[in-house]
Structure 1
Amino acid sequence: MRAIMVVLGGLALSSVALAGDVSRAQFFSPTLGYDYPYTIYLPDAYDPQASAPHPVVYLLHGSFGNEFDWATKGNLPQTADRLIEAGHLPPAVFVMPGSRSWWVDGHNEAARSAFFNDLLPHIEATYHVGTTREQRGVAGLSAGGYGAVNFALERPELFAAAAALSPASYIPAPPKNSSAHRHPAFLNAQGEFDQALWEQLNYTAHLESYRLRVTPRPEAEQGDTPPVPFYISAGRRDVYDAEFHARQLRQAIERIQPGDVRLDLYPGGHTWRVWRASLPAALNFMFQSVDATPAVLPDSQAE
């Protein structure tokens, strides 16, 4: 294990406390025209020379959040360490990107396009991670859950599983107290909330094309792409009524893929306490589908 220390948002994470390494990096994004930041967790068993790549999960932050949130507030490194050590997860890589948007091509930046066109190729060229659907997952909380749902529905050929914690996937519109009403991603030139853009980008706009891709045709035994198993969670006292919207989301996806959606409800609100509590269940669910084949060390390093 490499002995390093990185400081994320004022919280020091060291190799003494963690089995995996956590670091921050950035690269120039042609889509955005500026540097794209991300935090990355590499498991203790990470080996760039291993014969098999490590599975990778992309974790999206919430509204007005940043690339540090999952590591400093969500306890992702500690949770991953514990689950990997217990054998519940393979030695997986977790990428926590930063975005100024709600993971959409909104009024302020092309976050969706930058994720697919710039971030994924960069991560796969820089780290020894899986480049196939079977080795890739996506998850997020709140606005990041909104993004994770949209990404999986729009591009099911890229993700083996998805998780959305308190997803801000509100229909027909976000509640008045939602930050979506003041986020530059959804504010038009007049500074007003763009309801048409919200409807154009929300998960309901992707459901039919997703259904057609994952549902077997009469002449075929299976669809062109397997369904993406979904884990959804919410707090029962969420100020944005996330439980109601999570139930709606579950029903919409279950109509397409019965038995491939799980909904967990937790005591609490729209808080990190709920998201930290649901993260282990979300990861355990996802890694029932994300390739769990451990990376194989070269003969020279095998015991």
Structure 2
Amino acid sequence: MSLTSNTVLVVMVSLAVLLFAGTVWLWPRLARCGWRSVGGRIGLLLCTQVVLFASVGLAANQEFGFYASWADLLGKETAQGVVVEQAARGAHGAPGGGPLEVLDTARVAGVDGSRPQVDGQIQKVDIVGRTTRVATPAYVYLPPEYFQPRYRTRTFPAAVVLTGYPGTAQALVTKLHYPRTALELAKNGRMQPMILVMLRPTVAPPRDTECVDVPGGPRTESFFTRDLPDAVAAHYRVGRKAGNWGVIGDSTGGYCALKFAMHRPGAFAAAAGLSPYYKAPIDPTTGDLFHGDGNLRDHADLWWLLDHEAAPDTSLLVSSSKVGEANYRATLRFVERVRAKGTTRIASIILESGGHNFNTWRREIPAALQWMSGKLSGR
């Protein structure tokens, strides 16, 4: 049974309830002073607490999508990406495309219909970077217009959507509801139809590369800013100009989104960071990201970029909460620093209160998608 299975959660919760009931039932019999009674009480309490904490952990993982599998949780997902030459495919999986393979299709959750030309479609794909040798799974949302005959020659704008760390790409679909939100906004005329490419920034799990081109690999930033747009544009009707592409993410994904647009404004016309931070951390999950390369370290620091580099011609959006977010003051300072540079356009979403969690980001995503839609073009 998988880590995210409802069955696993139900079994663990049931076991916790049974252990609690058993502890209450057996406690009078163990209320003696002998070593067996004391050991029995310790054993019952320990088992009950372990199972209870496991139940809470499984529930939290299902809600927030931290880990996708047992191997992911235990740090056993260590295999590096390898380039696999794929047969050429077209826009719907037919011959004539690039290093992107469609594995499965699904309807948009929460939508009654199942016709792609009415309700859009979600495709589960594998993407391989031609130059970086990075391979990763992703989900692609295609709006209804993509399948309608009158739009058959239209090129659509696209947005890369990133999770935090560790995160799962599936959580962007099932927990943060990006496809459903984009579908509803477009139907209400609040945003243009856009393709969403949803994945996590962790391309070499369990390591957190902070979207850095780590010396010796993996070249995470190059994958996201060069290989990924090329692979998607070769397979779907997406433009290859900066004005066709945006990037949005939360937490670690938010930091990556801002960094991509600031480093490569020629690749992304807009970037939205939901609850981002502004400098790559170094901790046990990242390891040594820079290997003594001071230039690489400086360019991973958005504060350094604002102080030492010319303002990039791009649009940025940042979000925070007055109560509940640790980045509130840093976000206000970042906005002011960007405004002082002049060329880069900056906007913000500031909530009165909201923690660093899915519920907060679900409140910000509609406005962020609508903002991004206004910055991108399909041609």
Interval containing the TM-score (normalised by the shorter chain): 0.7 to 0.9
Note if 1:204 corresponds to 2:303. yes
Note if 1:103 corresponds to 2:199. no
What corresponds to 1:220 in structure 2? none
What corresponds to 2:360 in structure 1? 274
Post-superposition Cα deviations, 1:142-180, rounded to whole Å, max 9, x if no partner, equal 11111111111111122222211001214xx75xxxxx5
Please say if residues 225 and 264 of structure 2, whose CA atoms lie closer than 8 Å, have aligned partners that are also in contact: no
How far apart, CA to CA, are the structure 2 residues paired with 1:66 and 1:185? 21
Which ranges of structure 2 fall in alignment gaps of 5 or more residues? 1-91, 93-103, 203-208
Please say if residues 186 and 198 of structure 1, whose CA atoms lie closer than 8 Å, have aligned partners that are also in contact: no
What corresponds to 2:245 in structure 1? 136
Please say if residues 201 and 253 of structure 2, whose CA atoms lie closer than 8 Å, have aligned partners that are also in contact: no
How far apart, CA to CA, are the structure 1 residues paired with 2:135 and 2:309? 33
Q: 2:333 aligns with which of 244, 248, 251?
A: 248
Q: 1:229 aligns with which of 294, 307, 315?
A: 315
TM-score (norm 1): 0.75
Q: 1:165 aligns with which of 274, 295, 300?
A: 274
Give aligned pairs, total. Answer: 262
How far apart, CA to CA, are the structure 1 residues paired with 2:257 and 2:320? 15
Report matched runs for 1:145-160 at 5 Å. 145-160=254-269
SS for the counterpart of 2:323 is: coil
SS for the counterpart of 1:151 is: helix
**Structure of greater relative contact order (alpha carbons < 8 Å, 6+ residues apart):** 1
What's the RMSD between the two structures over aligned residues? Answer: 3.1
Please say if residues 139 and 164 of structure 1, whose CA atoms lie closer than 8 Å, have aligned partners that are also in contact: yes
What is the percent sequence identity of the aligned residues? 26
The offset of 1:206, in angstroms, is 2.9
SS for the counterpart of 2:160 is: strand
What corresponds to 1:59 in structure 2? 161
The offset of 1:24, in angstroms, is 1.4
How far apart, CA to CA, are the structure 1 residues paired with 2:303 and 2:109? 39
The offset of 1:262, in angstroms, is 1.6
Pair 1:186–1:78, CA change in 2 (3 A): farther
What corresponds to 1:122 in structure 2? 231
The offset of 1:256, in angstroms, is 1.5
Which one has the largest radius of gyration? 2
SS for the counterpart of 2:167 is: coil
How far apart, CA to CA, are the structure 1 residues paired with 2:299 and 2:314? 21
Letter of the aligned partner of 1:183 in structure 2?
T
How far apart, CA to CA, are the structure 1 residues paired with 2:168 and 2:214? 17
Q: Per residue, is there more helix in 1 or in 2?
A: 2
TM-score (norm 2): 0.61
SS for the counterpart of 1:236 is: strand
What corresponds to 1:219 in structure 2? none
How far apart, CA to CA, are the structure 2 residues paired with 1:195 and 1:236? 34
Letter of the aligned partner of 2:360 in structure 1?
V
Pair 1:155–1:109, CA change in 2 (3 A): same
Post-superposition Cα deviations, 1:58-103, rounded to whole Å, max 9, x if no partner, equal 1111111132232122110111011010011111101113332322
